Amino acid sequence: MCRNIRQLHNFEPPASTEEVHDAALQYVRKISGSTKPSKANAEAFDRAVAEVAEATQRLLDELVTNSPPKNREEEAAKRRARAEARFAA
């Protein structure tokens, strides 16, 4: 149902609006226990995703760090290597 939510802070280029929305969607899916809400719950679900995305973007905009930005491709390669090691037969 839910893939891991990835870190969005301190990357170059910064997290896109789509990445923030996708993380918010995964969070709401996880806590609601539903990948697709019923028609009765769709409005509340969509509103929650929008609110979480807004709060996430605000947080990312306000965070500061002295460490250099991370490279997306290098971090993806590290994730793949960890997954290969974890699922190796």
pTM: 0.82
DSSP 33-74: T-SS--TTTHHHHHHHHHHHHHHHHHHHHH---SSPPEEHHH
DSSP, collapsed to helix, strand or coil, labels residue 88 as: coil
What Å distances lie between residue 78 and 4, 6, 7, CA to CA? 15, 13, 13
Structure tokens at 15: 């997290």
Q: What CA–CA distance (Å, rounded) separates 80 from 69?
A: 20
- 11-20 pLDDT per residue, tens: 988 999 999 9
For the chain, 89 residues long, give each residue's pLDDT as a single digit of tens: 446 778 899 998 899 999 999 999 999 999 999 999 999 999 999 999 999 999 999 999 999 999 999 998 898 899 899 989 989 86
